[in-house]
Structure 1
Amino acid sequence: MASKGLFGRVDSAVASNSAHRSNFINIDCGLSANSTITEDDTGLTYVSDDQFIDTGVNYNISSKYGSNNLLKQFLTVRSFPNGTRNCYTFRNLSAESKYLVRATFLYGNYDNKNHPPTFDIHLGVNYWHTVKILSSDGAFFTEIIATATSDYLQVCLIDKNLGTPFISTLELRQMETTLYKYANATQSLVTFARLDIGGRYELRYPQDSYDRIWGNYTLDTWTAISTNSTLITNDTDFGVPSAVMQTAAITLSTKQSLDLPWTSNNKSSVFYIILHISEIQDIPRTALREFDILSDGILLNTDVHIVPPKLDPWWISYTDTDGTLYNVSLQATSNSTLPPLLNAIEIYFIIPATRIPTYKGDVTAINKIKANYKVNNGWSGDPCVPTEYSWTGVTCTSDSNNIPRITLLDVTGNSKLSATLPSGLQKRNKDGKLTFRPNQNESHGSTPVINSPKWNTGGSNYPSVPNPNGAGEGVLNFENRQFSYNDLIQITNKFQNNIGTGGFGSVYVGALENGIQVAVKTRSHSSSQGVKEFLAEAQNLTRVHHKNLVTLIGYCMDGDCMALVYEYMQEGTLQDKLRDNARPLTWSQRIRIAYDSALGLEYLHKACNPPLIHRDVKTNNILLNANLEAKIADFGLSRAFDNDANTHVSTAVVGTPGYLDPEYYTSYKLSEKSDVFSFGVVLLEIITGHHPIIPGPEGGHVTHWVSKKLSRGDIESIIDPRMQGQYDINSVWKVTELARQCTELNSAQRPTMSVIVAELKESIDLEISTEGARSRHTTNSYPYNYSRDDNFVSDVSQNSAYEMAQMGGVPKPGPAAR
């Protein structure tokens, strides 16, 4: 399913190549110590990897594969026959900065076994990719764009018993923090494809100041076009090289769409797609190039047609998930006299960075021990994380902030280490074990995960509360940023802009130090929701990560101040949007909002562990961003449950009148079908524009009101008149029938959220089939609205590895790339 993204314009020069080159690290793996090589075409100097790693064995590839056409840095490899995990370390980096890391592998039968291996690669403690080497002469590379949470990054090769891991080159490029905003402290971007459409040669540094590799791509059914005019892009967008934007491809006629299909083996994969567009041909005044962009058949530019500006780079970005077959299609409008045009495309996997590294102070101490006593018994990478690769002799325990801490070091197996007590350790037991006793209350400063609140079961200013997941009373662990009350004053400009009030308290809009807008939800002392709901909402949001669930950025527990800081949703609540007479929602917008919301609830019911029942699904808890993408909010009443069939929990009835499941209300038995009933009411609101309770003698609950109208076969009478007849009637019928099934009194007869998602997708397809015909009767200009990327957090599986094409022989770039 594609979610519409953003339009952007780029209009100033990038920084100089030399400035970016100083932030490059180029490693030739396997090169002899203290040696360097200079790559002829890029002019970049590669250094030996001996200063970045202390394990592994150097090899030259077989002379059979070391042709004159092969780049110098691929002639050697470092192999790792010993140890499950072997890690390179980039030191002295800038914490919170963004980096592109690229690893390249050319097997070249270096070990004379003719057995290309398969192994994993991690960035720090988090999975990056599974490397599958398919041949001896094909070079494979994988890239990740990530934010450093500390002053170092590690790249680790993981042995899966499918051949010995090895590596040819490792490259790091510091990037502007404004680039690729979906790469942040909680998630990274793994490159799937980066294509110069219409280009003739591979492009990288110095044409691209960040040394991104742009593959050339043109089909026989397209026409490649180019210009000699320079196009300038901006680091605040994507800094695409002029050489990339100077080429493009068009189809042979306006009747032919420009299609880019791809596949994924993992249905939970979340793709981030960026299309780069600029007119580079001289267009006669009587001609028009106008087209639409569709993702998997869903129109992205719902309000306007695309008219690419002359020599002025523009872009559109969006996310796509929920399938294995994907396609982006550019289709000329009926008014267009010229075919669609595309200059470049970037496609990335969004992968979460869910694991928390060991506390930095402990890592520093243990690495000093390793260096001083020459310990090499499997001590590579993070000492504690992942647990299956933790260091031999090291015992770790998570502290009250869920950050792994080293609590015990057993040195009995290493006579050199156990001979002398290292400084800084407090005690050695009789059995030779050294015990660490870290101060659990010390400030974590710039640790990889920002400091979390100290919530204990006793001795706190707040009462002990049950774990929202039903696991009894215990520690509340946040993984998000902690704000002080003074921070909130700064963020909200002294709480000046109140954008709403609910049962919890007031909500204010503000901005972080990097300019990102946030919503600050404060708890008032007279709030109907107490500490328990506050903690439940925070706890639940730290473990649910989906693009259709609102993102918790941080929290405040400072004295009497309790507040939650969320991503800011510019268009407010669905409830308010449905009542907006000035800008009424179209049917297309409404059904997509319903689909987004259903995806969020499906994730809560099926993908969370344990699953969650929201318990307060309503239009006021569905928030909309600037692109009208919907996200479920307000998890203060959520409750964990077992998702086995016929499972329910007995609980006191909570929720909002009008949305409450009657079966839950009378029996006190809560199940996922309670959310389904509430969502059915939301669907009826979307269709009718009415509140759940309709006043007047003809009114009553919206379910009964709709049933009476439909008993006469009069569906037009229930449809919100503000849509002015602009909808596919079959699509509306389908959603109405779905809403009636959701609101069946017997919960066993209600569909699951997975069924609802599928039905809404079919309803969208019905609407799309007639939407294009209706839009051709209107004329639209193309107003580009500049807005920031939303802070997106996905639930993509850690197994969502991507496969890039093998680059047979890695030929040198052609003349245009030099």
Structure 2
Amino acid sequence: MWGDLSIALVCSAISLDCLSKLHHCYLIDLKLYILSADKIDSHVLSSIIDFTIRIDCGGSSNFTNEFNQTWIADQFYTGGIKVQLPDQQKFKFSQEKTLRSFPITGGKKNCYEVGVPNGVYYVRMFFVYDNYDNETHAPSFDVSIEGTVVFSWGSEAWTEDNIKFGAYSDVFTPIEDSVATICFYSIGTDSPLVGALELVQVDPNCYNKVLHENILLVNYGRFTGGSSSFGAGMSKETDITGRAWDTDLDFTQSAANRVVLTTDQGIKNANRAPNYFPMYLYQRAHTLSYEDTLEFLLPIDPKLDYMLWFHFAEIDPKISASRQRVFDIVVSGKIVFHNVDIYKEVGNYAVYDLQFTARNLTNATLSVKLVPHTGAPLISGLENYALLPKEVPTDPIDGTKYMHSL
């Protein structure tokens, strides 16, 4: 039976195209994942060349964390200074305890320029202020990836929790020039900052190949129906594409009658190309204690369109036939999927995913409802991505919508 095969290569073994862009020669984990035969059908058994680099911004040494992730000391920056946060004990992970600050004396724009193979990447960053400079003023700044502004940190984005404990934000983006360029732009005289930077190469055909269309996918909410968050670098239940999954409690009004189902049984068709949604996602589900509507409220910027991915698996042992759990999916008051019957479509303990793109929105909150016909609705997870065109000189995305607090 095939297992995970991990290969570590020195940068001299990387293609000349990539090597010519690298500023330093360093050890990179190049992992060839060959998924085990009991997790994936033979006709989709495939390998992922996963170029991954994780930079501990402001950090002075390399380390490997409890999840066997390798982080490298701060490098590939064009300016700025290292900062040790004053109250490090309150931060759970090592990469959160330092940051790189870009004082205005070094110019309005500073960047990280990281040599990478061309492809599609999951890019995640960690931001925290924690009054490191004793100015009691969290800085305002914009962040761009490959020339497109994706995050805007201002007074609304800097909630009290974000200031004290930090927040992660992430994007899927194509990189076509062998260099990942992430830039920070000062607003006024403020000093931009960043605490951690991760780049994980993913399957180029992920998410319906939308990233082939000069589109970036900005995370506006990715959550599990389970009781706790999980994912890469956050728990032992990982996600090979680098994603982290929040609990859905911040998005739903149904906490009072919320029921979480769990199973250890294998889920058919999990971990499949090109999205490789993890099996653990489908081994947890949010349902209700009685037949009622399950609603999620997702903060958005209505100027943009959104790609919604719904994740289901029927893991309730009481459901043993079709028509025992049937519901509609309603987005912004419109039925987008009628008579969803997971068991009828795939049986039990099997992946069932649906995708919908919401356009022409007018409200700053996107309502998603699962409206029952028979039985209580059920969901394993939901993803909501803004479809952000590349290199569009428009206003930065409102930073309050997608900052995921710890």
Aligned partner letter, 2:396? N
Task: Give the aligned partner of residue 659 of structure 1.
Answer: none
Task: Give the aligned partner of residue 489 of structure 1.
Answer: none
The 8 Å contact of residues 89 and 152 in structure 1, kept in 2 or not, is answered as yes
Aligned partner letter, 1:212? R
CA positional deviation for 1:16: 9.4
Matched, 1:298 2:328: no
Aligned partner letter, 1:328? V
Measure the CA separation in 2 of the matches of 1:281 and 1:109. Answer: 47
Please list every run of 5 or more consecutive structure 2 residues that lacks an aligned counterpart in the other structure. 1-38, 250-254
- Counterparts of 1:449-598 in structure 2, within 5 Å, are none
Measure the CA separation in 2 of the matches of 1:799 and 1:300. Answer: 29
- Counterparts of 1:789-808 in structure 2, within 5 Å, are 798-802=395-399, 803-805=401-403, 807=405
| 2:348 aligned to which of 310, 332, 349 | 310
Measure the CA separation in 2 of the matches of 1:209 and 1:12. Answer: 18
Cα gap change, 1:16 to 1:108, in 2 (>3 Å): farther
The 8 Å contact of residues 30 and 76 in structure 1, kept in 2 or not, is answered as yes
TM-superposition CA deviations, 1:755-807 (whole Å, max 9, x none): xxxxxxxxxxxxxxxxxxxxxxxxxxxxxxxxxxxxxxxxxx55333423552
Measure the CA separation in 1 of the matches of 2:107 and 2:81. Answer: 12
The 8 Å contact of residues 98 and 195 in structure 2, kept in 1 or not, is answered as yes
Secondary structure of 2:138's partner?
A: coil
TM-superposition CA deviations, 1:88-118 (whole Å, max 9, x none): 0121422xx1101111112122222221112
CA positional deviation for 1:137: 1.4
Task: Give the aligned partner of residue 362 of structure 2.
Answer: 323
TM-superposition CA deviations, 1:663-717 (whole Å, max 9, x none): xxxxxxxxxxxxxxxxxxxxxxxxxxxxxxxxxxxxxxxxxxxxxxxxxxxxxxx
CA positional deviation for 1:278: 1.0
CA positional deviation for 1:258: 1.1
Matched, 1:122 2:162: no
Structure with higher strand content: 2
Secondary structure of 2:280's partner?
A: helix
| 1:54 aligned to which of 78, 91, 107 | 78
Matched, 1:24 2:24: no
Instruction: Provide the alpha-carbon RMSD of the alignment.
Output: 2.5
Measure the CA separation in 1 of the matches of 2:80 and 2:46. Answer: 37
Cα gap change, 1:806 to 1:275, in 2 (>3 Å): closer
Cα gap change, 1:145 to 1:285, in 2 (>3 Å): closer
Cα gap change, 1:806 to 1:116, in 2 (>3 Å): farther
TM-superposition CA deviations, 1:198-240 (whole Å, max 9, x none): 2324332562111201112242322111111122424435321
- Between the two proteins, the alignment pairs up a number of residues equal to 343
TM-score, with structure 2 as normaliser? 0.78
Measure the CA separation in 2 of the matches of 1:108 and 1:285. Answer: 52
Task: Give the aligned partner of residue 165 of structure 1.
Answer: 192
Measure the CA separation in 1 of the matches of 2:340 and 2:371. Answer: 10
Task: Give the aligned partner of residue 36 of structure 1.
Answer: 62
Measure the CA separation in 1 of the matches of 2:271 and 2:92. Answer: 34
Please list every run of 5 or more consecutive structure 1 residues that lacks an aligned counterpart in the other structure. 1-9, 356-385, 387-796, 811-818
Matched, 1:340 2:377: yes
TM-score, with structure 1 as normaliser? 0.40
Measure the CA separation in 2 of the matches of 1:25 and 1:274. Answer: 27
Bigger Cα Rg: 1
CA positional deviation for 1:318: 0.8
Task: Give the aligned partner of residue 605 of structure 1.
Answer: none
TM-superposition CA deviations, 1:470-526 (whole Å, max 9, x none): xxxxxxxxxxxxxxxxxxxxxxxxxxxxxxxxxxxxxxxxxxxxxxxxxxxxxxxxx
Cα gap change, 1:275 to 1:806, in 2 (>3 Å): closer
Matched, 1:91 2:111: no
TM-superposition CA deviations, 1:25-56 (whole Å, max 9, x none): 00001122xx212222x221211222x11311
Q: Percent identity?
A: 22
Cα gap change, 1:208 to 1:806, in 2 (>3 Å): closer
Measure the CA separation in 2 of the matches of 1:235 and 1:179. Answer: 11
Task: Give the aligned partner of residue 239 of structure 1.
Answer: 276
| 2:311 aligned to which of 260, 270, 276 | 276
TM-superposition CA deviations, 1:380-431 (whole Å, max 9, x none): xxxxxx8xxxxxxxxxxxxxxxxxxxxxxxxxxxxxxxxxxxxxxxxxxxxx
The 8 Å contact of residues 140 and 804 in structure 1, kept in 2 or not, is answered as no
Cα gap change, 1:279 to 1:233, in 2 (>3 Å): same
| 1:134 aligned to which of 159, 184, 201 | 159
Measure the CA separation in 2 of the matches of 1:179 and 1:323. Answer: 28
Measure the CA separation in 2 of the matches of 1:269 and 1:284. Answer: 38
Measure the CA separation in 2 of the matches of 1:182 and 1:311. Answer: 28
Measure the CA separation in 2 of the matches of 1:270 and 1:798. Answer: 15
Cα gap change, 1:162 to 1:192, in 2 (>3 Å): farther
Measure the CA separation in 1 of the matches of 2:295 and 2:83. Answer: 44
Task: Give the aligned partner of residue 31 of structure 2.
Answer: none
- Counterparts of 1:352-371 in structure 2, within 5 Å, are 352-354=389-391
| 1:102 aligned to which of 124, 128, 131 | 124
Task: Give the aligned partner of residue 201 of structure 2.
Answer: 174
The 8 Å contact of residues 24 and 174 in structure 1, kept in 2 or not, is answered as yes
The 8 Å contact of residues 328 and 370 in structure 2, kept in 1 or not, is answered as yes
Measure the CA separation in 1 of the matches of 2:309 and 2:189. Answer: 35
Cα gap change, 1:26 to 1:288, in 2 (>3 Å): same
Cα gap change, 1:799 to 1:165, in 2 (>3 Å): closer
TM-superposition CA deviations, 1:600-639 (whole Å, max 9, x none): xxxxxxxxxxxxxxxxxxxxxxxxxxxxxxxxxxxxxxxx
Cα gap change, 1:56 to 1:15, in 2 (>3 Å): farther
| 1:251 aligned to which of 282, 288, 302 | 288
Cα gap change, 1:185 to 1:56, in 2 (>3 Å): farther
Measure the CA separation in 2 of the matches of 1:28 and 1:155. Answer: 15
CA positional deviation for 1:323: 1.6
Measure the CA separation in 2 of the matches of 1:185 and 1:307. Answer: 31
TM-superposition CA deviations, 1:506-558 (whole Å, max 9, x none): xxxxxxxxxxxxxxxxxxxxxxxxxxxxxxxxxxxxxxxxxxxxxxxxxxxxx
Aligned partner letter, 2:362? G
Secondary structure of 1:55's partner?
A: coil
Structure with higher helix content: 1
CA positional deviation for 1:76: 1.3
Measure the CA separation in 1 of the matches of 2:135 and 2:46. Answer: 45
Measure the CA separation in 2 of the matches of 1:11 and 1:175. Answer: 18
